[in-house]
Amino acid sequence: MDDRIIKLIGEEALDKIKNTSVLLIGVGGVGGFILENLVRSGFTNITIVDGDVVETSNLNRQIISNAHNIGDKKVFVARDRAISINPNIQIQVIDKFLLFNDIDDNFVKSYDYIIDACDTVSVKIALIRVAKQSKKRIISCMGTANRMNPGLLKIKKLKDTFNDPLAKVLRHELRSDKDCLNTYVLCSEENPLKQRELGTLAMVPMAAASLICYKVIDDVIQ
């Protein structure tokens, strides 16, 4: 698997990737595709956090889901998929829905890079604050539901986001902290469709995950 990666970025860059410890919160729509990209890109030290189970409603967009694992814990399904791709990977699982008071310096101290793909606003805010305090690199995913155009997904600083209701909430809550507002996020510049319930097609979270992984790899190999 390493051959094709080395041909693109070189052995030294791949070594940097392998030596980077990643904390991934959420392995659902976006998070599952992030994990897939990380593993196939050479990351070998990953911790995944999620307390959810695979549901039938996940089948249209979550790469870890299939007709045979409905009801199974997402973290264990995701772990097994990662190991099936690279049996030598060191992947740890935390089977838990994180709360904001779970997030402190001690929680993040073992990781070089934090990827937030969770849905809980208070946890997103806490992760950004603690990451900045602990001088940890972090990228946070904003909303991808009710969007159709993956071409309007962007990586930008939180302070520069627009057309994203979730990002708006984070901007407001973090408005007094310039460092937090400079956090890189994945967001969509597309106005979300006005639906009563959230809907998603796989292409949007898939593209979001690819952009996030590009940002992580670019940061790591510099």
Domains of the chain (ranges, CATH numbers): 2-221 (3.40.50.720)
Q: Answer yes or no: is pLDDT of 149 > 80.
A: yes
- Please give the pLDDT value at position 132: 97
User: What is the Cβ-side half-sphere exposure of residue 47, based on CA atoms within 13 angstroms?
Assistant: 16
- Please give the pLDDT value at position 194: 85
- Please give the pLDDT value at position 152: 97
Q: pLDDT tens across 67-87, in order? A: 999 999 999 999 999 999 999
Q: Answer yes or no: is pLDDT of 116 > 80.
A: yes
- Please give the pLDDT value at position 100: 95
Q: Answer yes or no: is pLDDT of 27 > 80.
A: yes
Question: Residue for token digits 């694992």?
Answer: 69
Q: Answer yes or no: is pLDDT of 165 > 80.
A: yes
- Please give the pLDDT value at position 115: 98
pTM of the model: 0.96
